[in-house]
Amino acid sequence: MLDPKMLREKADVLRRNVVLRKATVDIDHLLVLDERRLALTRTLEELRRERNEVAEMMKMVSVEERPALIARGKRLKEALGAQEEEYAAVQDEWRGLFTRLPNLTHPNTPEGDSDRENQEVRCVGEIRPLPFTPRSHVELAQRHDLIDFVRGAKVSGAKFYFLKGKLALLEQALITYALDMIHREGYEVLTTPDVAKEAVLVGKGFLPRGPEKQVYYVEEQDLALVGTSEITVLGYHMDEVLAAEELPKRYVAFSHCFRTEAGAYGRESYGLYRVHQFSKVEMFAFVEPEQSEAVHLEFLRLQELFWKSLEIPYRVVDCCTGDLGGSDYRRYDIEAWMWGKNEGKGGWGEVTSTSNCIDYQARGLQIKYEAKEGSKDYVHTLNGTVVATPRALLAILENYQQDDGTILIPEVLKRYCGFEKIG
């Protein structure tokens, strides 16, 4: 959530930002609602002051004077009820629109409408042409009986799956390796709940019930399955004031993730690339404002360290305005090379992202820090995926495949999974 003062003081900045971020919020209508909300607040304060004044006068007046005061009190009660009802309606509409305002945008973020206009920062690793026709991970999985999409769909529906045999073990190796690597960097390890209250999702910047909602709800409960542990780790310190000397607070969390992928039709979704459930290891940090840009680069460095160690070609892109999520101030993605894209010609596919959300999420969930002199301000929050296992498995299968159909295991994972190849 943005600072409401910005709406009154920098409406033009928000108008431009809404256009750049492809949001659909009518700033002029929001300003009208905001003025009405503030006017109603002043009216309610005056009516409550007058009601309290009447209550005090009732203690001091004579019996003869009481009927007039009682009648006045009744009129005030009716007026308060009507004004409170109107205020609640205006406040609900205002909040519904205000929470749809995207975060501010870093001045160096490239402008653009979609991920096609993301700017490449660097490309790491050599894409070596294979001396045979590349197979997609779906073909390789069928050959070695590693994934069962048919039974996954039978049990749970389309885009659910069973991982089998050595691929299931390789997934656990990726998780353990990722946690081990980031823990050695001094991050506190968490395993998080797989559900969160809607207020936490909204504070994160999700619009859970929007037309492209990504959330599975738990029926008749104020709970949803999380699409990322970013949600639960963010909520870990909601409504808290952290001491400045504790910051930065760095976590690395494991969770299962669930996404409906509503509105995703037409996007590339072959095999494991876009699924409804997956496992993920995620970094998260709560920092002072002046620390956030440095920690953002730290997250990117650790992500690159992970993907370099797998020896899979990747590139880093600076995400453009039209590709940023609602809570992102700035985001970098890492895209790995995948041979199964573009009908076997290969292409880049997103495998991680890292976002600096500045104080946007902290405002929504009231997470502050207290400086030594006693002043309080909102923390900045950052997140960064170390590994989302389906796309990492996809990239390993496709980049480590051999002419005979076997798949080698990246050197760094061998001691975690206990075997050197599949097939």
- Is 45 a residue of the active site? no
Q: How confident is the model at residue 66 (pLDDT cuts 50, 70, 90)?
A: confident
- Is 261 a residue of the active site? no
Are 222 and 286 contained in the same domain? yes
Residue of 37, 135, 250, 259 marked active site: 259
**CATH number assigned to the domain comprising residue 56:** 1.10.287.40
Range of the domain at 367: 115-422
SS3 state of residue 372: coil
Query: What is the pLDDT at residue 342?
Result: 87
Are 263 and 333 contained in the same domain? yes
Report the percentage of the chain scoring pLDDT > 90.
78
pLDDT for 421 beyond 80: yes
Residue of 274, 304, 363, 370 marked active site: 274
Within-domain flag for 124: yes
Tell me the residue length of the chain: 423
Q: Give 269-300 as a DSSP string.
A: --TTSS-SEEEEEEEEEEE-GGGHHHHHHHHH
Residue with the larger pLDDT of the pair 156 and 64:
156
Which tokens go with 281?
Answer: 């290891």
Are 87 and 121 contained in the same domain? no
- Is 122 a residue of the active site? no
Are 94 and 220 contained in the same domain? no
Crossing angle of helices 389-399 and 165-184, in 10° steps, is 110
- Is 274 a residue of the active site? yes
- Is 327 a residue of the active site? no
- pLDDT, tens digit, for every residue of 298-341? 999 999 999 999 999 999 999 999 999 999 999 999 999 999 99
Over range 399-409, report the average pLDDT.
Answer: 96
Last residue of a domain, one of 98, 133, 160: 98
Over range 158-168, report the average pLDDT.
Answer: 96
**CATH number assigned to the domain comprising residue 198:** 3.30.930.10
Cβ-based neighbours of 114, under 8 Å, separated by 6 or more: 320, 322, 323
Last residue of a domain, one of 68, 98, 128: 98
Q: How confident is the model at residue 68 (pLDDT cuts 50, 70, 90)?
A: confident
Residue of 331, 353, 355, 398 marked active site: 353
CA 360 – CA 179 distance, rounded (Å): 27
Cβ-based neighbours of 113, under 8 Å, separated by 6 or more: 22, 320, 322
Within-domain flag for 104: no
pLDDT for 210 beyond 60: no
pLDDT for 255 beyond 90: yes
CA 65 – CA 371 distance, rounded (Å): 55
C-alpha closest to that of 275 among 172, 138, 407, 142: 138
**How many domains does the chain divide into?**
2
- pLDDT, tens digit, for every residue of 20-62? 999 989 999 999 999 999 999 999 999 998 888 888 887 887 8
Within-domain flag for 35: yes
Are 316 and 289 contained in the same domain? yes
Are 133 and 256 contained in the same domain? yes
Are 188 and 319 contained in the same domain? yes
Q: Give 227-271 as a DSSP string.
A: S-HHHHHHHHTTT-EEEGGGPSEEEEEEEEEE---TT-TTS---T
Within-domain flag for 205: yes
Residue of 309, 350, 363, 370 marked active site: 350
Are 148 and 15 contained in the same domain? no
Q: Which residues make beta-bridge pairs with 253?
A: 190, 282
Within-domain flag for 108: no
Are 265 and 291 contained in the same domain? yes
Are 23 and 130 contained in the same domain? no
Are 227 and 307 contained in the same domain? yes
